[in-house]
Amino acid sequence: MNSSDIINNKNKVHAFLQPVISADKYEASAFEVLGRYEENDKYASMVSFFTDEYVEDEVKWEIDKWIYSWAVEKALRLEKLPVLHFNILPAVLGPLDAVEELLEFFEEIEKKGFPRSHTVFEIQAEKFEGTLKELTHILLYFKASGYLTAMDNIGINDTHLDQFSTLEPSIIKVDVSDLEETSSYYTYSEILDTLAFYARKLGAALHFTGIETSHQLHMAWRYGGRFFQGFLLGLPHAEGSSRSEKQEVVKDLIHSFIDMHYRWLDRQTELLVKMDERVKKVWTGRESLDTFLKSLTKKMDIEASRMYICDKYGYQQTVNWTKTEEAGWKMDETAKGKNWSWRVYFLDNVVEMQFNKNGMLSDKYRDIETNEIIRTYSCPLEKNLYLFVDLDPVYLYRQNWFQ
């Protein structure tokens, strides 16, 4: 297949639909529209055609409209009308200056019975030749016209975080196909955590694509994916169906993820109970805080790497007790008197401890001194005194507490 074959045989160009599985019902609530070229009773991807720099943008645009029309006809024949994701040629938004033509085209489609509320325009921001301001104007125009927008082809190593708040996409589409090849699992999970945070702040849905393994699906589910797509969940087909052939498989996998997470939470609860009991046994009152910490280091030698006590305003009331490989536990006088209220979670955690009257475990984060990924156990001692214990990264790793 070459580009001239496609140009001269448009009747051999077909619209295939790849299912997009919703996290709430495990069914194909949407489809991505993909072009396929029929040749020798087989259907070939048309990516090479659309990326061929020698094919004029006007020709690509005409083929795109042909594919769009085919896809809508197929969608209208389905029992339940799906959402369709249309890949928008970057040149339409840039050199061709065909934004108005695009909207007029979809207005005609709407007259045939396919509403704009079921239309998602997928945009690859990095391929847009104009400025970010120009692209922002176009996407906001789409949204104001009643269409959904998606930032497409967001990879873990190229996340465009600075663009999200400006472009305000309805959907952020994240490719996890390279997850198995990533050198650092924790770096990968940190970026996914950041993407999930951005999506929540913007009110955008996370759409994970490139899912080929159950591990990739697990990561997509764990980090707040609303939509899932990939060969594990369904191949592109000439016809679509609202009930995915993998629906029960997806349901069973996600149920296994839920059970796994509950078991992890149960283990975390057991750890908190154990830590609380140790603190209560050693605690003797505010008159001897450093003596208390010295005794606690013996009780938590395996789990802890650093401990100290603060008041509710964030002022550190004790020295740091820090575990070293060479000399065991050592006292660090320089930390006493420092204020930690500037940490965004500090005051919230103090209030939560005051309310619950027991210890709590932080999310994972990077220590500002060592840059290691850690979690912190904190516990109310008495009014206006709070214990903080940084857990040993080695212990956390062995216990799989980095989720």
**376: CB partners within 8 A, 6+ apart:** 361, 362, 388, 389, 390, 391
What is the mean predicted confidence (pLDDT) over 288-301? 94
Fold of 263-399: Beta-Lactamase (3.30.450)
**How buried is 358 (Cβ within 10 angstroms: 0-12 exposed, 13-18 middle, 19+ buried)?**
middle
305-349 tens-digit pLDDT: 999 999 999 999 999 999 998 889 999 999 999 999 998 889 999
Confidence tier at 165 by pLDDT (50, 70, 90): confident
* Chain-centroid distance, C-alpha 25: 19
Listed in sequence order, the residues at least 6 apart from 363 whose beta carbon sits closer than 8 Å to its beta carbon are 375
What's 316's DSSP letter?
B
**What digits encode the pLDDT tens for the residues 120-144?**
999 988 888 888 889 999 999 999 9
Q: Residues 68-86: what's their mean pLDDT?
A: 95
Specify the domain boundaries for CATH 3.20.20.450 within the chain: 3-233
Local structure of residue 183 (DSSP, 8 states): S
pLDDT at 242: 62
Q: Which of 181-190, 223-232, 238-247 has the lowest mean pLDDT?
A: 181-190
Looking at 3.20.20.450, 1.10.10.60, 3.40.50.970, 3.40.630.30, the CATH number of the domain 3-233 comes to 3.20.20.450
pTM over 0.85: yes
Question: Is the pLDDT assigned to residue 39 strictly greater than 70?
Answer: yes
Report which secondary-structure segment, H or E, holds 290: helix 289-299
Give start-end residues of each CATH 3.30.450.20 domain in the chain: 263-399
